[in-house]
Amino acid sequence: MAIHNFAAVDLGASSGRVILATTSDGKINLEEIHRFADPIIEMQGHFYWDFPAIYKSVIEGLAKIAERGVEIEAIGIDTWGVDFAMFGEDGALLRLPYCYRDPHTVGAPEKLFERMLRKVLYDKTGIQIMNFNSVFQLDTLRRNNCSALSAAKKILFIPDALAYLLTGEMITEYTIASTAQMIDPRTKEWDADILALLGLKAEDFGKMTMPGEKIGVLTEEVQRLTGLGAIPVVAVASHDTGSAVAAVPMEDEKSAYLSSGTWSLMGIESQEPIISDKSFELNFTNEGGIEGTIRVLKNICGMWLLERCRPEWPQMSYGELIASAEKEEAFRSLINPDAACFANPQSMTEAIKEYCVATGQPAPESVGQYVRCIFESLALRYRQVVEMLRELSPVAIERLYVIGGGARNEMLNQCTANAIGIPVVTGSSESTAIGNVMMQAKWAGVVATIDEMRAMIRSSLDDSKRYEPQQKELWAAAYEKYLSVYKEM
């Protein structure tokens, strides 16, 4: 079988990577070429992405591929959702993009609901209400008389903004746009009423582009900076979860997925949006997927809790953290990982401690107790969300596939199987990059369908594990305790 090489630019909320991928003999091989921070700058009371630094790091990664002398066929870009950059009449960046964790959108949904009811907004978009969704960011900027928004010729989501800097072409990739809460998932187009509410129109964004379409080729400037030729940049599922779900090694529809990383995203893949009174009540989202599919899912706070605790502790590896947790008493302290107090506290350990005290539980006192509290609480939250999914899914859910960095967390995966009562099967910890690459491979003609993509992904997995539920009665009692201390605080 022919060898095909691709470059995946994969940006997460804390770090980014440029990856060299090779497909050959029905398998995928990934090599991380360049890893870098995705810097957040705190300045004048706001949190911004250092977008020029991110772009510079992408250029450096592509240059390292050129230095290898490897001929790549395409480049794909995926990033986190909702955030965007604004460009002026002359094509220049107008200001650093706000980070979705910036507090300027606290209370923003309620402001918008004064002009469009919450239920109406949900029925139009099928997107769960989260204060950092693009619709609320844009409404906040408009209410605050943002000079950059007033001067903006184009608004481009982060992966589209990077693609523009690489190719000179301004597009809007569908899966990333679907996170904005401004797209009708039935038509896959902008909702005119929502745009009008924000004082915007479809022309303020790039041309709607589907995963698998070519965006353009590297500009002469980027060719000079990287040493690459006129390489095509291909639209992948540029929302990182869209790429990750594309790489779930599902064999049938009786499965749910959990993309486990800084955020946990749990859902099902559907051919149609699921928008109903029940999905509204449960605050489920309908985001765009590849090949016209819909990702019916719920955002859950993930390893953000642990990542924010770690700087407050002595330096320890993940293995050491897990070992310390395994020695501690089970279910001593439980939290709702999605409580508002954990969104971006100055001290995560203090936030967890205060939650436990407020709910009449002993506060964690050691690193192991904190880690065990986080893992067990996440697993029990996953059960809560699986039960919600069962109310929405048209088919039975018989197994859960875990992808992303959490696929390697054996303690959390076993806790999850115990909590949800069905087998947990792990996919790749590199699912986002794999999904990115596979859409490029589809564009290049290496594979033709989702089924062929997932068959290649399954054949490439050599470390997949299956976790069977254990200690059913013990975890059932723990779930009752979790519900009793569940707070939105």
**Residues carrying an active site annotation:** 240
**Token pair of 156, please?**
């481009």
Residue written as token pair 């992808």: 403
Contact 250, 374 (CB under 8 A): no
Cα 46 to chain centroid, rounded? 22
Say if CB 15 and CB 444 are below 8 A apart: no
Torsion of CA 88, 91, 92, 95, to 10 degrees: 40
The single-letter code of the amino acid at 366 is: S
Cα 306 to Cα 370: distance, rounded to the nearest angstrom: 8
Report whether 159 contacts 238 (CB < 8 A).
yes
Closest among 27, 235, 46 to 146, alpha carbons compared: 46
Q: Could you give the CA distance from residue 393 to residue 9 in angstroms, rounded to a whole number?
A: 33
What CA–CA distance (Å, rounded) separates 228 from 258?
Answer: 36
What is the distance between the alpha carbons of residues 99 and 80, in angstroms, rounded to a whole number? 10
Say if CB 41 and CB 27 are below 8 A apart: no
Q: Which two tokens stand for residue 292?
A: 């016209």
Please give the single-letter amino acid code of residue 203.
E
**Contact of 129 with 122, CB cutoff 8 Å:** yes
Quick one: tokens of 345?
């506290």
Q: Are the beta carbons of 15 and 37 closer than 8 angstroms?
A: yes
**Alpha carbon distance 416, 385 (integer Å):** 12
Q: What are phi and psi of 129, to 5 degrees?
A: -80, 115
Instruction: Find the distance separating the first CA and the last CA of the chain, reported in whole Å.
Output: 56
